[in-house]
Structure formats: structure tokens, C-alpha cells
Structure 1
């Protein structure tokens, strides 16, 4: 079974289109990750600043302990939520990055049959 020049051109164009789509998707995913990380950093900084202000305004030792306990609980919960969100974004990034490869492999398998 021989390949025609037109078939090779079509195959080359499909590969180029797949690579371009993968690059676009990859870039969008990285931008989403960078934006999410920057937003979390900003929120974390604002939360830390508010914590220090509350702590400096504490009227008693018990109040300071409660402020600190609340801050750490909220910080830990926020970190876990952010880690989960980033994990999902990275997972999505990996899936999108390999999608063109999966499509190309499926086409090769289909061509063999």
C-alpha cells in the first residue's frame, strides 16, 4: 500500500494542527495555574495582615490564643482547598497535553486496520 503525496500533506497538516491546538491549550492551562497561584498568594498575604492586626488588638492572652487558633484553622483549610484546586488544574493540563498524542495514535491504529 503506497502513500500519495496528498495523503502525506494531509497527515502533515493534521499533525501541525494538533501541535498548534496542544500549544494553545497548554498555554491557557499554564495561565490559569499562574493566575490561581497569584490570587492565592494575594489572599494569603491579606489574611496574614488581618491576622497580625487582630493579634495586636487582642485584649487578653486568651483572646490572642483564640485569634491565633482561628487563623491557623482557616489557613490550613484554605491551603488544602488551594492544593486541591491546583491539583485539578495540573491534572487538566496533563490531559490536554496528551490529547493530541492520543488522537494521533488512534488515527495510526485506524489506518493499520
Structure 2
């Protein structure tokens, strides 16, 4: 006969929930920090490119500055999108882990 202890199950469920909430909080803080850092760098890079454009001596130089900036901005965006995607993936894994462990115990 299976021993059914409701208080133990309730405590485990609460612990799992708190672990998940903690993981989500940490993950979202990390994502917010990364996003803020990227926004700041993106703004600074854009301002620097604008300053270079304003002092360009020729149309060819202005075109070169704009092309370099566009390439750099695109590469930075792709790298940031990849990083944020990885952070969300890690967040999902960490959030699910306590429940995955509980399901494994229940099915053992």
C-alpha cells in the first residue's frame, strides 16, 4: 500500500514553486541587466557614429562611416539576440528543473 503524506507533498510543491520563482526572478534580472547594457552601448555607438559623420570631410568618408556603423550595429544586434535567447532558454530550464525532479521521483 502506498503511503500518502499530503503535508509532505504540499511542502515539496511549495519548495518547488519557491525555487521556480527564485529562478525566474534571477533570470529576469539578468535579462534586464543585459538589455540595459546593450541599449547603453548601442546608444553610445550611435552617438559616436553620428559625431564621425558630422566631421566627415567627404561623401566617400561619410558613406564608409555609415557602412561600418550599420555592419557593426547589425552584428551587435545578432549577438545580443543570441545571448538573450540563450538566457531565456536557461531560464526555462531552471524554472522547470524542480518539477522535472519531482516527476522523476513520482515515477520512480
Give 1:3 deviation, angstroms: 3.3
Aligned to 2:11: 13
Report the counterpart of residue 3 of structure 1 in structure 2: 3
Q: CA RMSD in A?
A: 1.1
- Residues 28-62 of structure 1: per-residue CA shift (max 9 Å, x gap): 00010011111111111111111110000000011
Count of residues in Structure 1 that have an aligned counterpart in Structure 2: 108
**Alignment deviations for residues 65-111 of structure 1 (CA, whole Å, 9 cap, x no partner):** 1101110111111111101100100000111111122112111102x
**CA distance in 1: counterparts of 2:86 and 2:102, whole angstroms:** 25
Distance 1:64 1:9 in 2: 71
For normalisation by structure 1, the TM-score amounts to 0.90
Question: What are structure 2's unaligned runs of at least 5 residues?
Answer: none
Query: Which 5+ residue runs of structure 1 have no aligned equivalent?
Result: none
> After the TM superposition, which residues 56-75 of structure 1 pair with which residues of structure 2 at under 5 Å, given as runs?
56-75=54-73
The equivalent residue for 1:89 is 87
Deviation at 1:2, TM superposition (A): 4.8
Q: Match for residue 74 of structure 2?
A: 76
Between 82-91 and 12-21, report the one with greater CA deviation. 12-21
Q: 2:50 is matched with which residue? A: 52
Residue 8 of structure 1: CA displacement?
Answer: 2.2
* Cα distance between partner residues in 2 of 1:66 and 1:2: 74
